[in-house]
């Protein structure tokens, strides 16, 4: 598998990317009308724009429920490995990460999901491991 076109391996020492677009609000706790709507259509558009702009990565938030309260930020969150696979299929050069909670998923199944995502993205899948 070739990593040609994978921007994460370029000479830039300072990488630019997007964080948290896979969840409602994108971690912005506000009632402003511009509150991020994390619909699949918006995620596709944002990923394609970031790819065209030359950003190096997209990193999702791994959450299992929202924060509650008036804004209930992150009340709707995509599962990150499936989400990454979908975005990898419609982009060309940007690396897309999946966030994995080590206590929540079996390692063999997770490894299979990640290898599949990496094949879909031709070497552009990245892994963010978190503990809780």
How many contiguous H segments (helices) and E segments (strands) does the chain have? 3, 4
Long-range contacts of 114-119 (CB under 8 A, 24+ apart): 114/81, 116/85, 117/81, 117/84, 117/85, 117/88, 118/1, 119/1
pTM of the model: 0.90
pLDDT at residue 3, as a whole number: 57
Kindly indicate the confidence band of residue 45, based on its pLDDT and cuts at 50, 70 and 90: very high
pLDDT at 41: 98
Q: How far is CA 62 from CA 11, 78, 119, 131, in A?
A: 29, 8, 22, 10
The per-residue pLDDT for range 61-105, each reduced to its tens digit, is 998 888 888 888 888 899 999 999 999 999 999 999 999 999 999
């Amino acid at each position: 598998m070739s990593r040609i076109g994978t921007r994460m391996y370029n000479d830039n020492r300072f990488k630019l990317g997007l964080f948290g677009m896979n969840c409602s609000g994108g971690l912005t706790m506000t009632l402003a009308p511009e509150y991020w709507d994390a619909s699949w259509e918006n995620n596709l558009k944002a990923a394609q724009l970031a790819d065209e702009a030359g950003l190096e990565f997209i990193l999702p938030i791994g959450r299992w429920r929202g924060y509650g309260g008036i804004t209930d930020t992150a009340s709707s969150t995509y599962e990150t490995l499936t989400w990454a696979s979908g975005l990898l299929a419609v982009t060309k050069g940007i690396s897309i990460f999946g966030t994995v909670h080590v206590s929540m998923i079996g390692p063999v199944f997770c490894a299979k999901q990640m290898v599949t995502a990496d094949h879909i993205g031709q070497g552009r899948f990245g892994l963010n491991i978190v503990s809780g």
